[in-house]
Chains A and B, each alone.
Chain A
Amino acid sequence: MTRRTIIERLLLAVFAAFMLAVPWVLPALVNSFWVSVIAEILIWSLFASSVNLLYGYVGLLSFGQALYFGFGMYGVGIGIDQLGLGFWPAFGLGIFAAIAMALVSGIFAVRLTWHYFAIITVVFSLIFYFLAVTQKGLTGGDDGINFSLPPTFTLGSAQLSFTNGTFQYFFILATVTICLWLMHCVTRSPLGKAFLAVRDNDVRASLIGLNVYGLRLTAFVMAGFLAGVAGALFAFFGRYASASYMFYHVSGEAVVWAIVGGAGTLFGPLVGTALFIVIRELVSTHWEHHSLIVGVMAILVVILAPRGIVGLWRDILSRITEPVDLKRAVETAELRTDP
């Protein structure tokens, strides 16, 4: 094992241990409010991952992912409030609604690239934002839909639901972990390599036999899935669904989080989201212009570390470990050739 993988695995283990200990450590160190901040960071980082899958792995910059987040949210809200669904069917409805919407809009959107693609994604999300605001009967308009939570698990008379803060946290942690793990698998798979080829050079990709349109659409639907899961989780977390989360401003924030954290890396969006939400929580109580800090930081990162914070960290890590690893590789090679 190289020194690099040792360091990376150690870090991952420490991080995992921290995430598992959050419901006990944070209330003891600061207060229990921070447990729900971490839960919120997890949900939003899943949303930023959907931008990341499109931009970092397929090269499509979407400013409309909030649409699928909103569909996930409304699937849950309408499912519970108007259709009387339980937790799991409502969760499923939210994810299904997001995927279906991503498929329908993707069929049109992925015909285009770059700014045309960015514009059409914004247009789609604006159309449905205004629809959601005006269709008061279905969506509750500006007020949104408030609903009471059905239980997640029922075992005899015992019930587990999001009203239990610790359960809520672990449910969110588990769901986000599963989604990121799925994304990790996809990026390592033949399909993931094909995504990278399309991102790097779409003309060449088509000439070697890759169906560029099909691959972009696949990625778009997958990104819709991630955004939909995030939206559904956020609906359960906030006990409401609202059109305001479908506005393109929300999409834009996810783009900033993903790029600052490091597009094209699995943990980039998590790092970016965590950074900006923690800043917001710390500063906003003292100073109302906290978004100024966000703007300045975003500009600094884009200029100084174009591959984001995770990219910067990887460069530093290579610089520290590569000489050592290289030396060891050479030594083992020599050992092998020596009789």
Chain B
Amino acid sequence: MSEPVLRIDNLVKRFGGLAAVDRLSLALPGGRLHAIIGPNGAGKTTFFNLVSGLLTPDSGRVFFLGRDITGLKPHEISRLGIKRTLQIKSVFPQMSVSENLWITAQAGNRFLHPFRSAARDYDTAERVERILNQIGLAPLASRSAGTLSYGDVALLEIGMALISQPRLLLLDEPTCGMSPAETERAVEKIQELARSIDIVIIEHDMEVVFEIADDITVMAQGSVLTSGSPTEIAADERVREAYLGRPEDEDYVEEAAHA
């Protein structure tokens, strides 16, 4: 078996006395869509923050394709090909939709030309155009991103993920706050992406998780409770206790497992 895309080795992050991520170890093989679930406060987003460099771990290591990336700056990690979205939709509100895509396409460059006009970069303009058509935002290209509807911002985020040509994409609750129709559209895009890119997704919507994930990791209290296929997870007693123990959630899982 080849080197896993992401290997986490005994990762620890404490906030004061609280260990948000506590001796987390994990190996995610490539070519699969991996979902991370767990109750609130299980440390899922902290885990993403540690991988993407927004936080530095107290101990433990993170390996990306065999390379130790622990302690690198967010932009350095991003330039290696790990891109992520934030739980709260986050774009560049005062820039136009196409400018958002434009700068995301350019951001990995070590040198940003200070004097040449950005409008003359026809290569990047063409890429932006292609992505705009792909995500269906071409008619809104010149609108400021801050004036878009929630669903359109989510599409723009996916467009930004696409144009940045990631090797590994971390999606933090991509369908959070979406209408059912928007969720469906987003899920479709994510599945399409997963064919060419390794994706790790944090998601609360169990229907979505069981629909798209190849593997599921359940986190509780900062470490891995268990990992497995969606059917295994749905049948796991410990998962029910830690996370799905409440009666109204139980139906949910069974429903999803049988779907």
Contacts and interface: CB of A to CB of B under 8 A. Distances in A.
Interface of A: 182, 185-186, 188-194, 196-197, 199-201, 203-212
The 5 A-B residue pairs whose C-beta atoms are closest, nearest first, are A209-B78, A200-B92, A206-B74, A209-B107, A191-B112
The majority secondary structure among interface residues of chain B is: loop
Interface of B: 52-54, 73-75, 78-79, 83-84, 86, 90-95, 99, 102-104, 106-109, 112-119, 121, 160, 164
| Most chain A CB atoms below 10 A, which of B113, B119, B121 | B113
11 contacts: A186-B115, A189-B113, A190-B121, A203-B54, A203-B86, A204-B86, A206-B78, A207-B74, A208-B108, A208-B164, A209-B108
Nearest to B108: A209
Binding site secondary structure of chain A: helix
Given A206-B73, A208-B78, A211-B73, 19 more contacts: A185-B117, A188-B118, A188-B119, A190-B109, A191-B113, A193-B99, A194-B106, A194-B107, A194-B112, A199-B94, A200-B95, A206-B54, A206-B75, A207-B52, A207-B54, A207-B86, A209-B78, A209-B107, A212-B75
B92 A196 contact: yes
B112 A189 contact: yes
B118 A189 contact: yes
Contacts of B90: 201, 203-204
Contacts of A199: 94
Given A197-B95, A208-B103, A190 B54 contact: no
Nearest to A215: B112
B95 A196 contact: yes
A99 to B, nearest CB: 15
A210 B118 CA distance: 16
Contacts of A200: 92-95
A201 B91 contact: yes
B75 A209 contact: yes
B107 A197 contact: yes
A212 to B, nearest CB: 7
A209 B86 CA distance: 14
A208 B165 CA distance: 11
Contacts of A209: 75, 78-79, 107-108, 164
A201 B93 contact: yes
